[in-house]
Amino acid sequence: MVVYRNEVSHLWQRQSLLRKWQKGEIRREEICDAEFLLMTAAKYHGTPAPRVCPVCGADGLRVVQWIHGEQLGRMSGTARSDQEIAKIAATGREVTVHTVEVCPECRWNHLLKAVTAVAE
């Protein structure tokens, strides 16, 4: 079983960025800049988000989990499912999981939270 700890939420930064965009302080191109790998991961490894895109209103908003860690080798910096994260954590390696929302329509993306996954 995997346990998530040390959660760092980035929701405040998300709301702040969206407010700046809504006020016209930053351009849409500055916040809708998801790179190819993130877009591809969202398409093939992402799960549907429980809300619409905050920028374009599209229903296809996706949530992707990226793993990072010194002990992960080539797996670090890749998108993974909950099951894959649990298997990796079960090997005793510490895994940092970044949860990112991505819109395939307008390329909006934002880090929602970071947590540490460990086997219990």
Could you report the per-residue pLDDT of 3-40, keeping only the tens digit for each?
999 999 999 999 999 999 999 999 999 999 999 999 99
- Distance, CA of 102 to CA of 92 (rounded, Å): 30
DSSP helix/strand/coil, 62: strand
Domain around 40: 2-119
What is the number of domains present in the chain? 1
What's the pTM? 0.91
- Distance, CA of 112 to CA of 101 (rounded, Å): 7
Could you report the per-residue pLDDT of 64-90, keeping only the tens digit for each?
999 999 989 999 999 999 999 999 999
